[in-house]
Every structure is written in structure tokens, then in C-alpha cells.
Amino acid sequence: MKTQRLGRTEFQVTRLAYGCMRISGGVWKRADLHEDAIRNGIRLVEAAFDAGYNFFDHANIYGDTTCETIFGRALKLHPGWREQMVIATKCGIWFADQPNPGDPARYDFSYEHIIRSVEGSLARLGIETIDLLQLHRPDYLANPEEIARAFTELRDAGKVREFGVSNFRPTLLTTVQKALSLPLQVNQVEIHLGRLDCFTDGTLDQCLEHGITPLAWSPLDRGKLATGAEADGEPRKKLLAALDETATEYGTDRTSVALAWLLKHPAGIIPIVGSANEARIRDLTKADAVELSRVTWYKLLEAARGERVP
């Protein structure tokens, strides 16, 4: 795959990232992690690395920490991988009943939680430094000065190289950035042909203005743009038909077109793909070779909107 610069960092990352949320094979309680799940997860990471991905996205909550654990086991088996990878993770979410029974599900950007989360991720991944740390979902009690304190301490200690956010509205990103002496490099948000908010709410404009890389989670709308699942409404049927027509025109498949549509944007959107099928992990990289024309891009946008652009 071709590579691009991540934000304003020195990292050159593949234009598709591999998202590790599913490598635990459905295990979402750390107490349920078993050796078969670990072996299967390692095979998925191996398939992604062999397919050419060098950018791997985690969060400490994925699999209730088990996905980071599996990835760490993979790195132990392949110690030469570390210098060839950019490893990202996220923090800031508590599940219900954590750490105490009766505690609500919540977000937490407190200094203590950020520091504690990073220490845990480093231990599970078995690495000395996280390449990119992201705040996962906006904390209603976020204190930018407290975030800045944690980020600065982590950077100075060599535990995190670069920082970003996830699911942030532009105003909150600006507010947090003002408190920081270091640049936020990414904003990971949901972007796909079924979710167009980022094109109109200022998110992508902000990324262009400040050299922030948009990371697109669920770039295939949880796989529905690839499979056609739940295509009951007329607008979705028309979108799928437009994707198929374009795929025929470009000699490729519907999935590659949907991903290439994101890759066309000048902000440098990086789709995060998270298949748990080894062949599929390889096939997804075909999108990197599809160069849509501006006319085709707008045809797909019109199909996704269900109406002409205003």
C-alpha cells in the first residue's frame, strides 16, 4: 500500500489502518480470554502485517483490554515488527460496574485515568512507547488543563510520542488544543457514505486547516456497504446500486469503491478496517489502487444524500 504522513508527525502510515477491535474473536470480558482466542487473534494480526498494513489501531476497552493483550503476544512472537509499525490506542471510557459494582458507564479524561490507562496499555502491548494516544469519546467533564498536564508528562517520560482525539466535535478539539503545547494529530470519527456529518459540521474543514488526519472508523458502515445488509430503504438501495455501477466501471468491487471514496478527500482520510477474515483483510487493500474521478465522487455523494447537492 501507499503511505502518507500522519498529521504533522514524522510517521509514514499506510492509507488503510487495521483496527484491532475484533481480534479477540468476540471476547468482551478479560476473564473469558482463552488460548484459542489468542491464537486466532495473532493470526489476524499476522495477516494484516503480511498484507502490508503498518498502522494498527487499538483502544483499552476493546475486548475489555484483551485485544491489546493479544497484540502484545503477537509482538513477542515477532519482535522485529515493532520498528515497522505505528501503534495507536485510545483511553477515556469506563464500562458500567467498573471498577465498582453499580458504577455507571461514563467517560473520564481525568489526569489520573489517562496516566493509569497508558500504563496499562503499555504493559499489555509489551512496548515502551505508544506511537499515538487518542482520547476516545468526549468527556462532559473534560478539563483541558488536566488533559494537557497528563499529555505533557507522558510525552516527557517517553511513554507516548503523539496525541489525538476521537469522536470530537470541532469546538471541543479547539478548546483542548488551546491548552496544549503540542499539536493534536488526528481526530477519529465515523465517516462513510451512510454518515456524512463530517462534511458539513466543520470536522473535515478543521482537519484541512490544521493538518490533522481524519481517521474513519466503521468506513463501511459496520460492513453494510459491503454486504448490502439491512438495505431495506429506497435510498440505501440506490446507493448500493451506484456503488455496484462504479465498481463495474472501475473494474473492482463495491467495497473498494466505498473505501476509495474516502481516500479521495484532500484531508487524507485513513479508513480503519477491522475484518476478522484473513482473506478479507488482504482484499481490502485493493482500495488503495482505485482513483475515483471528481465526477464519480460526486455521483456517489448524490446517491448517498438521496438528492442533489445544495
What are the DSSP calls for 239-256, one per residue? HHHHHHHHHHHHTS-HHH
Q: Which domain holds residue 91?
A: 3-231+265-290
Query: Is the omega angle on the peptide bond into residue 144 within 30 degrees of 0, that is, cis?
Result: no
**What distance in Å separates the CA atoms of residue 257 and residue 60, rounded to the nearest whole number?**
31
> Residue 92's closest CA among 68, 117, 58?
117
Query: Is the omega angle on the peptide bond into residue 99 within 30 degrees of 0, that is, cis?
Result: yes
28 in any annotated domain:
yes
Which residue in the block uniquely carries the three cell numbers 471541543?
172
pLDDT, mean over the chain: 97
How would residue 178 be classed by pLDDT, with cut points 50, 70 and 90? Answer: very high
260 in any annotated domain:
no
**What distance in Å separates the CA atoms of residue 48 and residue 20, rounded to the nearest whole number?**
10
Q: Determine the number of helices (DSSP H) and then strands (DSSP E) in the chain.
A: 11, 12
The predicted structure's pLDDT at residue 234: 79
> Residue 74's closest CA among 6, 136, 24?
24
239 in any annotated domain:
no
Q: Please compute Rg for the chain using Cα positions.
A: 19
Query: Domain count of the chain?
Result: 1
Report the pLDDT averaged over residues 213-237: 89
* C-alpha cell recorded at residue 97: 460496574
The predicted structure's pLDDT at residue 146: 97
Per-residue CA distances from 292 to 100, 167, 288 (Å) = 51, 27, 11
pLDDT digits (tens, 9 = 90+) for 65-83: 999 999 999 999 999 999 9
The predicted structure's pLDDT at residue 229: 77
154 in any annotated domain:
yes
CATH of the domain at 195: 3.20.20.100
187 in any annotated domain:
yes
How would residue 51 be classed by pLDDT, with cut points 50, 70 and 90? Answer: very high
* One-letter identity of residue 138: P
The predicted structure's pLDDT at residue 230: 75
How would residue 107 be classed by pLDDT, with cut points 50, 70 and 90? Answer: very high
- The catalytic residue positions are 62
203 in any annotated domain:
yes
CB 20 within 8 A of CB 45: yes
Span between the terminal Cα atoms of the chain, in Å = 35
**What distance in Å separates the CA atoms of residue 252 and residue 233, rounded to the nearest whole number?**
25
Report the pLDDT averaged over residues 113-142: 98
* C-alpha cell recorded at residue 45: 494480526
